[in-house]
């Protein structure tokens, strides 16, 4: 090989090495740890889809960041990847709050438990929810027990301590009133309140309110139009509310009937009865005096501009505040004034 070509090859290989090193460094440093030091209240949408498959959306998950900790409301299938892709420091995920036990709200609880431990979580993951939460947590503990044992054996007790690998269930029992509520926890200036919503025949079903340094966020969970939700969302800065478009679902039902798919038609026709339409969600936000309405758990999730316009039709004339059609990765920062 000619000397000049050899020198050029060496230089090219060195340049490739530098580029590879920079890529590795960017990947390792992408996590935004400053969010934990912020005095503000932050919300990240980590799952805005539904059980219907959508390559752009995970199932239900909303991350709330306050006081140096990350709280996840529901952990539907695929949502943990979205938590990680949002560059959140996964070891700071210390609490999961479940709204109910449909699979599209709990499917990634095992991943949230294991991956937050891998990320450096130093205590057992706290999982709050209504009665039934312990059964869910125990099931995932059993399913993941061998995995966690392997990791401790491989990396050592100092790096992967077995004593904090799992999760602890905290069941909150609400009263009988339609708008029953209970304080879940108070920590670092943050208050989290659980309240009943109406997702019958699924019961119990709840939503959560976060109050932090004068700012507030409410996550609806799955519900039909709920007076309890209106009561507990009063004056909130941000309402993250589920939304199902009945007209689009009706088209799906009609199509299934035309194609002689009775099972699909039956299942689709049952769904709207225990969810909230976009206009009903706007009515809830207006009645509660909410400043900003974010629609999530979108059924069916709109995938283009025309579908998004149709999904939001009538919402702007119903609710006078700001409206956002949620998408995975969206982040909302609520300044607290320091």
Active site amino acids? 104
Cβ atoms 63, 331 nearer than 8 A: no
Pairing outcome for strands 206-212 and 181-187? unpaired
- How far is the C-alpha of 253 from the C-alpha of 267, rounded, in Å? 9
Tokens matching residue 143: 């399913």
Residue count of the chain: 338
CA–CA–CA angle 283, 129, 169 (5° rounding) = 165
Residue 319: DSSP 8-state? -
Cβ atoms 67, 42 nearer than 8 A: no
Tokens matching residue 119: 């990320």
Residue recorded with tokens 């100092």 = 158
């Amino acid at each position: 090989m000619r000397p000049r070509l050899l020198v050029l090859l060496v230089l090219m290989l060195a340049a490739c090495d530098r580029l590879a090193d920079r890529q590795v460094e960017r990947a390792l440093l992408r996590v935004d740890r400053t969010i934990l030091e912020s005095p503000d209240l932050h919300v990240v949408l980590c799952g805005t889809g539904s059980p219907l498959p959508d390559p752009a959306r995970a199932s239900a998950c909303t991350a709330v960041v306050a006081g140096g900790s990350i709280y996840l409301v529901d952990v539907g299938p695929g949502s943990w990847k979205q938590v990680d892709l949002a560059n959140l420091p996964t070891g700071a995920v210390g609490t999961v709050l479940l709204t109910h036990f449909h699979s599209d709200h709990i499917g990634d609880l095992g991943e949230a438990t294991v991956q937050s431990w891998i990320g450096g979580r130093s205590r057992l993951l706290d999982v709050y929810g209504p009665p039934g939460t312990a059964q869910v947590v125990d099931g995932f503990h059993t399913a993941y027990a061998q995995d966690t044992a392997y990791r401790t054996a491989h990396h050592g007790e100092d790096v992967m301590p077995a004593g904090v690998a799992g999760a602890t269930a905290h069941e909150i029992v609400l009263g009988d009133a339609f708008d029953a509520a209970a304080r879940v926890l108070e920590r670092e200036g943050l208050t989290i309140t659980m309240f009943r919503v109406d997702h019958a025949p699924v019961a119990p079903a709840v939503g959560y309110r976060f109050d932090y340094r004068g700012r507030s966020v409410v996550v609806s969970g799955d519900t039909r139009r709920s007076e309890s939700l209106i009561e507990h969302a009063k004056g909130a800065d941000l309402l993250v509310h589920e939304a199902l478009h009945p007209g689009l679902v009706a088209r799906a039902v009609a199509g299934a009937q035309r194609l002689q798919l009775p099972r699909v038609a039956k299942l689709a026709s049952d769904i709207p009865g225990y969810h909230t339409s976009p206009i009903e969600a706007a009515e809830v936000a207006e009645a509660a005096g909410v400043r900003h309405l974010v629609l999530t758990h979108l059924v069916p999730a709109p995938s283009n501009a025309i579908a998004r316009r149709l999904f939001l039709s009538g919402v702007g004339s119903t609710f006078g505040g700001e409206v956002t059609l949620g998408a995975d990765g969206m982040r909302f920062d609520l300044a607290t004034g320091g």
